C-alpha cells in the first residue's frame, strides 16, 4: 500500500487535487464570507457541508462516473448549480445596502449552523468542478487498483479539503485579520457576488448549450 501511495501516478493525482482544492472558487468565497459575516461556528458548518459534498463527488467519481456521464446527469447538475449560484449572488446584492456586516444582527435572523451546513453542501454539490477534477484524476490511475488502496486514496483526498478550509477559517478568525477583512467587507461582498454571478451565468449557459445539442 505504501508503494501505491508513493507511486508517481498517485503523487501526481494528489498534486492535481491539492491545486483544485486551493484554487479560488465558489466554495472558497462562501467560506470566506461566512467566516467574516457570521463567525467561526457558522463557517465550520459551511465547511462540513462542503466536505460532505466532496465525499459524495469522490464516491460517485470513483464508483459511478460512467453512469453519471451516460445519464446526462452532470449537465442537469451543472444547470441547477448555475441557478443556485445566481440565487446566492442575488442574496448578496440585496445585502449591499447595509452599512457593513454586523455579526450580532446577522445572528438574530434565522441563521443557524445547520443552514450554513446546507448552504455549503448545496454550493459544493451543485458545482461540477469537483467531478471534473475527479474524472481527470481517475484517468491517471493505473488499472485494477485494489479496493483498499482506492479507499485510502479517497480518504486522503477527503482530508485535504477538510484541513484546508478549516485552516482558512482559523486564519480569518484571528482578531487582526478579522478586523482587516471587516474594513473591506463591502469589497468582499462585491467580489463574492461577481464571482457567484459569473460562475452561475457561465454554468447555466454551458449546460443550456449542451442540452440544446450544441
Assign 198 a pLDDT band (cuts: 50, 70, 90): confident
Say what the pLDDT of residue 106 is.
45
Domain hosting residue 21, numbered range:
1-212
Q: How many domains does the chain have?
A: 1
* CA dihedral for 114, 119, 120, 126, sign (positive or negative): positive
Mean pLDDT of 38-56: 91
| Reported pTM | 0.70
The predicted-structure confidence for 57-113, as pLDDT tens digits, reads as follows 888 777 765 565 555 666 777 777 778 778 878 877 877 665 544 444 444 444 577
The predicted-structure confidence for 122-166, as pLDDT tens digits, reads as follows 988 887 667 666 766 666 677 677 888 888 888 999 999 999 999
Amino acid at each position: 500500500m505504501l508503494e501505491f501511495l508513493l507511486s508517481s501516478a498517485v503523487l501526481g493525482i494528489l498534486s492535481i487535487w491539492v491545486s483544485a482544492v486551493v484554487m479560488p472558487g465558489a466554495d472558497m468565497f462562501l467560506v470566506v464570507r461566512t467566516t467574516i459575516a457570521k463567525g467561526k461556528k457558522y463557517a465550520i458548518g459551511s465547511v462540513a457541508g462542503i466536505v460532505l459534498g466532496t465525499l459524495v463527488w469522490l464516491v460517485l467519481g470513483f464508483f459511478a462516473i460512467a453512469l453519471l456521464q451516460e445519464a446526462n446527469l452532470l449537465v442537469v447538475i451543472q444547470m441547477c448549480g448555475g441557478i443556485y449560484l445566481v440565487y446566492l449572488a442575488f442574496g448578496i446584492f440585496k445585502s449591499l445596502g447595509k452599512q457593513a456586516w454586523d455579526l450580532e444582527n446577522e445572528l438574530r435572523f434565522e441563521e443557524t449552523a445547520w443552514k450554513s451546513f446546507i448552504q455549503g453542501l448545496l454550493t459544493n454539490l451543485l458545482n461540477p468542478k469537483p467531478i471534473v477534477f475527479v474524472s481527470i484524476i481517475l484517468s491517471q490511475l493505473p488499472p485494477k487498483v485494489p479496493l483498499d488502496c482506492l479507499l485510502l486514496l479517497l480518504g486522503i483526498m477527503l482530508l485535504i479539503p477538510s484541513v484546508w478550509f478549516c485552516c482558512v477559517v482559523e486564519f480569518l478568525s484571528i482578531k487582526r485579520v478579522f478586523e482587516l477583512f471587516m474594513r473591506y467587507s463591502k469589497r468582499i461582498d462585491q467580489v463574492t457576488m461577481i464571482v457567484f454571478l459569473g460562475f452561475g451565468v457561465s454554468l447555466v449557459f454551458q449546460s443550456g448549450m449542451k442540452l440544446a445539442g450544441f
